[in-house]
A and B are shown apart, each in its own frame.
Chain A
Amino acid sequence: MTELLRIEQVTKAFGGLVAVNDVDMTIEEGKILGLIGPNGAGKTTLFNCITGVYPITSGEIYFKGERITLLKQDLIVRKGLCRTFQELRIFKNLSVLQNVLIGMHTRCKGNVLDALLELPSVKAEEKRAKEKALHYLDLLGMADRADFKASSLPYADQRRVEVARALAAEPELLLLDEPSAGMNISESHTLTDFIKWLNVEMKKTILLIEHNMRVVMPVADNVMVLNMGKKIAEGTPTQVQGSKEVIEAYLGREYVAQEL
């Protein structure tokens, strides 16, 4: 199995506050890695480090063997990583289709000059891009609402648009930040199936931040647990669920002491 993402001793400090502390992580191609941990453990910060939002304080990040530690966000997308946001950051004033077309930005060509001259090649490119974008929307069941303004949609549909947008970037590694946020139980079931579909049918390697154990545990090949910036456990879902440190992190030392 080829290694897709490797993180070595990554640390991110904001002044005195160390949000991510000496974390190692490896994801193999085709796998799903779940990243869990209590609130404030540093999961989203780690995401931000990987995707280039924050420059890391120390450590290295490799993608497909290539060092991407210092790359900016937009270049990282070109390498084959794309993410969704926990708080849903679609482009509110753009249409659904335009949102997905932005996702395709790195997979299209066309600069200002081409736009001004309206060359036939550019027009053909735009047509191709639109068709592809509609295809992604269709996969998410949103194709019929392609021209709706993104902000006019209900929350769940906005989520779908965000995923379609990330898919449109055609990443090899998809980073999902709490995709189940705001979902109920039945929606979570669908989400689990959906993540599996992304992994198997769409052939995406997935790094998944989740709070909802019902979503993570059935789906993840491996799970990594962060607490206060440090990795405290790693392994298969079963291994991690049984780990004393993990239970302690979530429920507190007193609880564990009582149990024993």
Chain B
Amino acid sequence: MMKWFPRKINLKWILFFASLLVPVVVRSPFILHVIILLGIYVVLTDALNFVTGFAGQLALGIAAFVTIGGYTGALLMLNNDWSFWMALGAGGVAGFLSGLILGVLSLRLRGDYLGMVTLGFSEIIRIVAINLVGVTRGPMGLPGIPRPQIFGYTFRGDVPYFYLLLALIVFTHVTIERMLFSRFGRACLAIRDDESAAAAMGVEAYQYKVLAFCISSAYAGLAGVFYASWTTLFSPDSFQLVDSIMITIMNTLGGIGSLLGTFPGAIVIGALPEIFRPFTTGAGVASLRLALVGLFMVIVLNIRPQGIAGMSIDPVYISLEPIRRLFVRGGEDAKENKEEAQ
């Protein structure tokens, strides 16, 4: 009968179709708002994972590229009347180019030093954003960032933004997967495992590291433009040092170098503070959440440093056998089992 019914399904599809239903299922606007924030964290964790997990470089200053991307997009939309879509592209390009600058400067450094330099760069960007009041309006930020429009429809409200974000997440994942399972991606993984041996096999390690860094920053730039448009206000405080660290922790928890680990990593750490919101007053929440995030980090590193998904880039399949049995009649099923056994 329906023998073509698949035996297993890639988890990705389940996640995707389930996500499509989220705004329908989630009734509370507050929760939907948090979910969008979590989705942005997923994109950023993916971005960071590309350089930490696939190229093996510790980059602690991702906020810099979110800020650069966000400002680029916002300014182009506000001052030059660019459409959201073009500004999105510009934000990605801005992220890429600034990643190139920082990458070239610092990717010859060793692990922890690289982390500190990327942090320093991130702070420089923040300070410049605060002080270049003529361009960025300083600490007051850029308000009134326009929303995306397509064929006359304007994205207003969290529900359309959710789907826009979903598209961004899908884009990020599909492109990362394609890059990963290619000659380029393979070379990056080899660099992560043993840079010197990779070079000994002809891999242009330095160039690839820089490229991975640029790609990572480009994604961060995209996220920045999205965030700017969603909140319609972008300021130097939108993404700071602490956020960079938080995303690093999300990456670590999910599993540095995994493909699907970024989801649970981002969601758990991102949702953690919100769980405690009812228990503490407003002022206390922000502090406590960060303290807890730090605690989580120390615990994960001591107990399971490889995080939830380890370094796995294998697809995850869910078995559909139980459902399949419902459709395929008993006799035919038994016959097939006999064939397989032989």
Chain A interface (Cβ < 8 Å from any Cβ of B): 51, 53, 72-74, 77-78, 82-83, 85, 89-94, 98, 101-103, 105-106, 108-112, 114-116, 118, 122, 126, 129, 165-166, 169
Give the residues from 70 to 85 in chain B that come closer than 8 angstroms, CB to CB, to chain A.
none
Closest to B187 in A: A105
B179 and A116: CB pair below 8 A? Answer: yes
B197 and A89: CB pair below 8 A? Answer: yes
Q: How many B residues, CB 8 Å from partner?
A: 29
> Which of B178, B186, B201, B311 has the most chain A CB within a 10 Å cutoff?
B201
Give the residues from 168 to 194 in chain B that come closer than 8 angstroms, CB to CB, to chain A.
175, 178-179, 181-187, 189-190, 192-194
Can you give 16 A-B contacts (C-beta < 8 A)? Answer: A73-B196, A73-B200, A73-B202, A74-B203, A89-B200, A91-B197, A93-B311, A98-B186, A102-B187, A102-B190, A102-B203, A105-B203, A112-B182, A114-B182, A115-B182, A115-B185
Contacts of B203 in A (CB 8 A): 74, 102, 105
User: Which listed residue (B181, B194, B201) contacts A103, Cβ 8 A?
Assistant: B201
With A72-B199, A74-B202, A112-B215: A91-B178 Cβ-Cβ less than 8 Å:
no
Not counting A98-B186, A129-B183, a sample of 10 additional A-B residue pairs whose C-beta atoms are within 8 angstroms of each other reads: A73-B196, A73-B199, A74-B199, A91-B190, A94-B186, A101-B183, A102-B186, A102-B198, A115-B182, A116-B178
Closest to A94 in B: B189
Q: How far does the alpha carbon of A229 sit from the alpha carbon of B178 in the complex, in Å?
A: 48
Question: Is B220 an interface position by the 8 A CB rule?
Answer: no
B211 and A112: CB pair below 8 A? Answer: yes
Question: Is B55 an interface position by the 8 A CB rule?
Answer: no
Chain B interface (Cβ < 8 Å from any Cβ of A): 175, 178-179, 181-187, 189-190, 192-194, 196-205, 211, 215, 257, 311
The B interface, classified by DSSP as helix, strand, loop or mixed, is: helix
A89 and B194: CB pair below 8 A? Answer: yes
Closest to A117 in B: B178
User: Which listed residue (A53, A101, A118) contacts B200, Cβ 8 A?
Assistant: A53
Closest to A73 in B: B199
> Which of A89, A92, A102 has the most chain B CB within a 10 Å cutoff?
A102
Contacts of A98 in B (CB 8 A): 186, 189-190
B201 and A105: CB pair below 8 A? Answer: yes
Contacts of B198 in A (CB 8 A): 91, 102
A91 and B202: CB pair below 8 A? Answer: no
With A108-B183, A110-B183: A94-B202 Cβ-Cβ less than 8 Å:
no
Task: Write the nearest CB–CB distance from B185 to chain A, whole angstroms.
Answer: 7
B189 and A105: CB pair below 8 A? Answer: no
Closest to A103 in B: B201
Contacts of B202 in A (CB 8 A): 73-74, 77-78, 82, 105-106, 169
B183 and A126: CB pair below 8 A? Answer: yes
> Which of B175, B190, B205, B257 has the most chain A CB within a 10 Å cutoff?
B190
Task: Write the nearest CB–CB distance from A165 to chain B, whole angstroms.
Answer: 7
User: Which listed residue (A78, A108, A109, A116) contacts B175, Cβ 8 A?
Assistant: A116
Task: Write the nearest CB–CB distance from A29 to chain B, whole angstroms.
Answer: 21
B201 and A115: CB pair below 8 A? Answer: no
Task: Write the nearest CB–CB distance from B216 to chain A, whole angstroms.
Answer: 12
B193 and A93: CB pair below 8 A? Answer: yes
With A89-B197, A115-B178: A94-B183 Cβ-Cβ less than 8 Å:
no
Closest to A98 in B: B186
Task: Write the nearest CB–CB distance from B242 to chain A, whole angstroms.
Answer: 31
Q: How far does the alpha carbon of A253 sit from the alpha carbon of B193 in the complex, in Å?
A: 45
B184 and A110: CB pair below 8 A? Answer: yes
Contacts of B199 in A (CB 8 A): 72-74
B201 and A77: CB pair below 8 A? Answer: yes
Closest to A113 in B: B184
Contacts of B215 in A (CB 8 A): 112
Q: How far does the alpha carbon of A169 sit from the alpha carbon of B183 in the complex, in Å?
A: 14
B178 and A118: CB pair below 8 A? Answer: yes
Closest to B214 in A: A112
B200 and A93: CB pair below 8 A? Answer: no
Q: How far does the alpha carbon of A203 sit from the alpha carbon of B34 in the complex, in Å?
A: 64
Closest to B192 in A: A93
Closest 10 CB pairs of A and B: A115-B182, A77-B202, A106-B202, A89-B197, A110-B183, A73-B199, A91-B193, A102-B190, A74-B204, A112-B184
Q: How far does the alpha carbon of A94 sit from the alpha carbon of B257 in the complex, in Å?
A: 12
Contacts of A165 in B (CB 8 A): 201
A110 and B182: CB pair below 8 A? Answer: yes
User: Which listed residue (A53, A89, A111) contacts B184, Cβ 8 A?
Assistant: A111
Q: How far does the alpha carbon of A98 sit from the alpha carbon of B198 in the complex, in Å?
A: 12
Q: How far does the alpha carbon of A103 sit from the alpha carbon of B186 in the complex, in Å?
A: 11
Closest to B200 in A: A73
A101 and B186: CB pair below 8 A? Answer: yes
